[in-house]
């Protein structure tokens, strides 16, 4: 399985927050949770406890821990208890290239890529299931036909979808070999000191909050992650960067930019949804808040995608336009800087 496939399977889902009843007798936590969680095996519960996905009163416990009255238990597991079949939905797709073997779609911000806990419908995969029949599924990736990679819900841009097994295998190998060319445009707070640079820093689940990705510069945790960046526009308080990925880790650009000290504009999860650079003047604060309203998401767009067609062996290169919200905020920043010199 490719790195990308592992990333697809690496989501975390907070299933339950349980307050143990005052009259609860002492009971092993794995048995207690077996009675409380639907469609989850005891082995999965035990594995989740050992991997730190189950916390009691905010702390890790062992599978033989006995729950006490008043305990607060939070449960997060790598895979949600799925009790729904994939529902084909007539959702329009922005298809920018298609042949008998694959297609490339331009995903809007706000669309989840595949069904998951609390998002069983309205996803890109639901739309694919309606518009295309018998799309292949990567091994271990059941219920997500056609997918070889993904982008975050609130990231816009290009995704390649496989229509045949041969195309899927060929694309998966290119992702595994890191030969897929992917360029993202990111609006970040501040301006990096170096006009061009490479961030070669491990990323992985945060040891404090497993829902987010953290950087581990000492290399003691996480997986190798490499992002090349170039400053395209210096707008004093923010800058437009071009980011090229060598690896495809979950939230890689978002975590790397935070590590660099330049979080993505309006990225709430990684510290970009507040004023990081700029003045203390009320007029400036109002300007930034207006920008946040225009683009209520992280400023990240998967702009280009390049690969060797797995069947024809010809080079495919797709370039997408910045979506309206991104382009409008960028133009607003340009005008602001031009009129405050």
Q: Is the pLDDT of residue 6 over 50?
A: no
| Annotated catalytic residue 71 | no
CB-side neighbour CA atoms (13 Å) of 62: 2
Q: Is the pLDDT of residue 43 over 90?
A: no
Give the confidence band of 329 by pLDDT, cuts at 50, 70, 90. Answer: very high
Q: Which of 248-252, 266-270, 286-290 has the lowest mean pLDDT?
A: 248-252
Output b/e per residue, 242-271; b: 16+ Cβ within 10 A. Answer: bbbbbbbbbbbbbbbbbbbebbbbbbebbe
To the nearest whole number, what is the mean pLDDT of the chain? Answer: 88
Query: In this predicted structure, what is the pLDDT of residue 141?
Result: 66
Query: In this predicted structure, what is the pLDDT of residue 118?
Result: 67
* Token pair 């518009």 in the structure block, residue: 131
Considering the chain, what percentage of its residues have pLDDT values greater than 70? 90
Query: In this predicted structure, what is the pLDDT of residue 52?
Result: 78
Tens-digit pLDDT profile for residues 101-112: 999 999 999 999
Q: How far apart are CA 234 and CA 244, in angstroms?
A: 18
Task: Please answer whether residues 290 and 336 qualify as being in contact, where contact means their C-beta atoms are separated by less than 8 angstroms.
Answer: no
Give the confidence band of 233 by pLDDT, cuts at 50, 70, 90. Answer: very high
Query: In this predicted structure, what is the pLDDT of residue 253?
Result: 97
Q: Comparing 60 with 156, which gets the higher pLDDT?
A: 156
Query: In this predicted structure, what is the pLDDT of residue 224?
Result: 92
Q: Which of 7-16, 38-47, 309-318, 326-335 has the lowest mean pLDDT?
A: 7-16
Q: Comparing 297 with 37, which gets the higher pLDDT?
A: 297
Q: How many CB atoms lie within 10 A of CB 150?
A: 22
Q: How far apart are CA 10 and CA 23, in angstroms?
A: 37
Radius of gyration of the chain, Cα coordinates, nearest whole angstrom? 22
Q: Which of 22-31, 141-150, 193-202 has the lowest mean pLDDT?
A: 141-150
Query: In this predicted structure, what is the pLDDT of residue 316?
Result: 97
Q: Is the pLDDT of residue 207 over 90?
A: no
Helix or strand (DSSP H, E) at 167: helix 165-176
Give me 38's structure tokens: 């639907």
Give me 170's structure tokens: 């060929």
Query: In this predicted structure, what is the pLDDT of residue 8?
Result: 34
Beta strands 315-319 and 300-308, pairing class: antiparallel
Task: Please answer whether residues 82 and 143 qualify as being in contact, where contact means their C-beta atoms are separated by less than 8 angstroms.
Answer: yes
Give the confidence band of 13 by pLDDT, cuts at 50, 70, 90. Answer: very low
Tens-digit pLDDT profile for residues 51-80: 778 889 988 888 889 999 999 998 876 554
What is the three-class DSSP state of 45?
helix
Structure letter (DSSP) for residue 116: B
Q: Which of 114-123, 129-138, 179-188, 231-240 has the lowest mean pLDDT?
A: 114-123
Q: Give the residue from 298, 195, 190, 203 showing the smallest Cα distance to 246.
A: 203
Query: In this predicted structure, what is the pLDDT of residue 81?
Result: 47
Q: Is the pLDDT of residue 26 over 70?
A: yes
Query: In this predicted structure, what is the pLDDT of residue 99?
Result: 96
Note the pTM of the prediction, 2 decimals. Answer: 0.77
Q: How far apart are CA 314 and CA 197, in angstroms?
A: 30
Q: Which of 152, 154, 267, 325 is catalytic?
A: 152
Q: Is the pLDDT of residue 2 over 50?
A: no
């Amino acid at each position: 399985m490719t790195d990308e496939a592992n990333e697809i399977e690496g989501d975390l889902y907070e299933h339950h927050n349980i307050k143990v009843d005052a009259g609860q007798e002492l009971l092993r936590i794995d048995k207690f949770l077996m009675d409380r969680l639907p469609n989850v095996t005891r082995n999965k519960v035990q594995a989740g406890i050992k991997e730190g996905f189950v916390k009691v009163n905010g702390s890790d416990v062992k599978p033989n821990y006995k729950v006490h009255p008043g305990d607060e238990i939070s449960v997060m597991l790598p895979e949600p208890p799925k009790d729904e079949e994939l529902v084909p939905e007539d959702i329009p797709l922005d298809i920018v290239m298609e042949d008998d073997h694959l297609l490339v779609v331009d995903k809007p911000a706000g669309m989840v890529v595949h069904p998951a806990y609390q998002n069983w419908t309205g996803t890109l995969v639901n739309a694919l299931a309606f518009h295309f029949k018998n799309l292949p599924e990567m091994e271990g990736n059941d219920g997500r036909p056609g997918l070889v990679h993904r982008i975050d819900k609130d990231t816009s841009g290009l995704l390649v979808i496989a229509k045949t097994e041969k195309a899927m295998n060929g694309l998966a190998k290119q992702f595994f070999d890191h030969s897929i060319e992917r360029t993202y445009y990111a609006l970040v707070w501040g301006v990096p000191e170096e006009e061009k640079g490479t961030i070669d820093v491990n990323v992985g689940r945060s040891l404090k909050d497993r829902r987010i990705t953290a950087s581990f510069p000492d290399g003691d945790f996480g997986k190798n992650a490499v992002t090349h960046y170039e400053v395209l526009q210096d707008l004093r308080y923010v800058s437009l960067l071009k980011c090229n990925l060598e690896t495809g880790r979950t939230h890689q650009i978002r975590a790397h930019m935070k590590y660099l000290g330049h979080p993505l504009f309006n990225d709430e999860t990684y510290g970009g949804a507040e004023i990081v650079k700029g003045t203390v003047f009320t007029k400036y604060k109002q300007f930034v808040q207006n920008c946040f309203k225009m683009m209520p998401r992280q400023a990240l767009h998967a702009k280009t995608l390049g690969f060797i067609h797995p069947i024809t062996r010809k080079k495919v290169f797709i370039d997408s336009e910045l979506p309206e919200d991104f382009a409008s905020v960028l133009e607003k920043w340009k005008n602001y800087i031009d009129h405050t010199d």
